[in-house]
Amino acid sequence: MNSEAPVTQPRILEVRTQILKKNDELARAMRAEFRAKGVYVINVVSSPGAGKTELLTRVLRELRARGLRVAAVVGDLATENDADRLGASGAPARQIVTGTVCHLEADMVARSLEGLALDGWALGDLDVLFIENVGNLVCPASFDLGEECRWLLFPCTEGEDKPLKYPTLINTVDVVVLSKMDIAQAVGFARTTALENIASMRPGASVFETSAKTGAGVDALVDDLVRRRDAFRGASIASARA
């Protein structure tokens, strides 16, 4: 009788590689389309309860007040509550219900954008598109969604060592947003240590301290977004003329 356990790891790795390859191919095609149409896309990642939806609602309102055309797609395991909350900003929002999947994948985003089109919003009508990922600090790191920029929300309630615990994800981000900073003192958040940890794990990343409740720091975050979007648009125009 053979008591040896079956070896399954190579097969698991093969399937995972195939999934990521398919995802990356679609993400590259989506990025090319986004760039061709001048749409600046931001993938927002965080743990559950970090305040993504509340902060994005404020950001969407501010961008609309500045005359930019914006929309959002949002992933969650169940319910359409987050899309309803984002829609309160006046921007179009579509929910992606993932069921048991703990992250968004490129094909999910592509299907959601088809839904936006059915609602009358073509990509060419947008200046900025947000993708609010499922709350998770592990799986989203591996999946490219065709974005131009990736934000990581890091709430003060989770402790200053959070960047050290998730090195794979933080090394994929462009912007770190410290959220819920209105209660930082109350929860004993060591701000200086947190900033040092972020700098050690992701040197050069832009860091913004915000509160969706009070609005503190949101203007600075939106200013940075607009600068990035303008630089992106300029590069897209130059590339098209070359």
pLDDT tens-digit series, residues 105-164: 999 999 999 988 888 888 999 999 999 999 999 989 999 999 999 999 999 999 999 999
Please report, as a single letter, which amino acid is at residue 26. Answer: L
Query: In this structure, is residue 141 part of a structural domain?
Result: yes
Span 86-108, pLDDT tens digits: 999 999 999 998 888 889 999 99
Nearest to 208 by CA among 198, 65, 86: 198
Contact between residue 84 and residue 70 where contact means Cβ atoms under 8 Å apart: no
Query: In this structure, is residue 4 part of a structural domain?
Result: no
Query: What is the C-alpha to C-alpha distance for residues 37 and 40, in angstroms, rounded to an integer?
Result: 9
Identify the pLDDT of residue 11. Answer: 55
- Name the residue range of residue 158's domain: 9-241
Query: In this structure, is residue 3 part of a structural domain?
Result: no
Task: Copy the structure tokens of residue 122.
Answer: 């073509």
Query: In this structure, is residue 97 part of a structural domain?
Result: yes
pLDDT exceeds 70 at position 14: no
> What's the pTM value of the predicted model, to 2 decimals?
0.89
Summary mean pLDDT of the chain: 90
Within 10 angstroms of residue 82's Cβ, the number of other Cβ atoms is 22
Identify the pLDDT of residue 79. Answer: 76
Query: In this structure, is residue 74 part of a structural domain?
Result: yes
Output the domain CATH number for residue 16: 3.40.50.300
When divided into structural domains, the chain yields a total of 1
Which residues partner with 73 through β-bridges? 94, 131
Contact between residue 112 and residue 73 where contact means Cβ atoms under 8 Å apart: yes
Query: In this structure, is residue 117 part of a structural domain?
Result: yes
Lowest model confidence (mean pLDDT) among 2-6, 124-128, 179-183: 2-6
Query: In this structure, is residue 46 part of a structural domain?
Result: yes
Query: In this structure, is residue 234 part of a structural domain?
Result: yes
